Structure 1
Amino acid sequence: MPSNTATQKALFLFDGPNFYKNLKNGKINKGHLNFRNLAENLSMGRTIVDVVFFTSPVDQSTDAVNYKNQQKFFAVLAKSGVTLRKGNLVTRRVSCKNCHTDPIICKICDTPLVVKEEKSVDVQMAMTMVTCCMKNEFDVLYLGSCDSDLVPAINFVRD
Structure 2
Amino acid sequence: MAPERCLVLIDGSNFFFKLKDLRLHKLLSFDFSAFTKFLLRNHTLVSATYYVGKVRTDGTKKTKQLHASQQKLFVHLKKHHYRYSLGYLMKSNSIIHEKGVDVNIAVDMLVATYENAIDRIILVSSDTDLLPAVRKVKEKGKIIEYVGFSHMPSVAMVANCTESTLLKKEDLQRLVLTPATFRSTRAAVRPKSAKLH
TM-score by length of 1: 0.79
1:106-117 paired onto structure 2 within 5 Å:
114-117=94-97
For 1:12 and 1:80, how far apart are their aligned partners in 2?
Answer: 13
* Structure with greater Cα Rg: 1
- The runs of 5 or more residues in structure 1 that have no matched partner are 95-113
In the alignment, which residue of structure 1 is the partner of 2:24? Answer: 29
- Asked if 1:71 corresponds to 2:71, the answer is yes
Q: CA deviation at 1:30?
A: 2.7
Give me the identity figure in percent: 30
Contact 2:89–2:97 (CA under 8 A) maintained in structure 1? yes
Contact 1:40–1:48 (CA under 8 A) maintained in structure 2? no
- Specify the SS of the correspondent of 1:7: coil
In the alignment, which residue of structure 2 is the partner of 1:137? Answer: 117
For 2:3 and 2:24, how far apart are their aligned partners in 1?
Answer: 33
In the alignment, which residue of structure 2 is the partner of 1:153? Answer: 133
For 2:119 and 2:104, how far apart are their aligned partners in 1?
Answer: 20
In the alignment, which residue of structure 1 is the partner of 2:57? Answer: 60
1:69-108 paired onto structure 2 within 5 Å:
69-92=69-92, 94=93
Q: CA deviation at 1:28?
A: 4.6
In structure 2, give the amino acid aligned to 1:30: H
- The runs of 5 or more residues in structure 2 that have no matched partner are 140-197
In the alignment, which residue of structure 2 is the partner of 1:44? Answer: 41
Contact 1:58–1:89 (CA under 8 A) maintained in structure 2? yes
Runs of 4+ with >6 A deviation: none
TM-score by length of 2: 0.65
In structure 1, give the amino acid aligned to 2:65: V
CA deviation profile, 1:100-150 (whole Å, cap 9, x unmatched): xxxxxxxxxxxxxx1111111000101110110001111111101110100
For 1:83 and 1:117, how far apart are their aligned partners in 2?
Answer: 22
For 1:41 and 1:79, how far apart are their aligned partners in 2?
Answer: 17
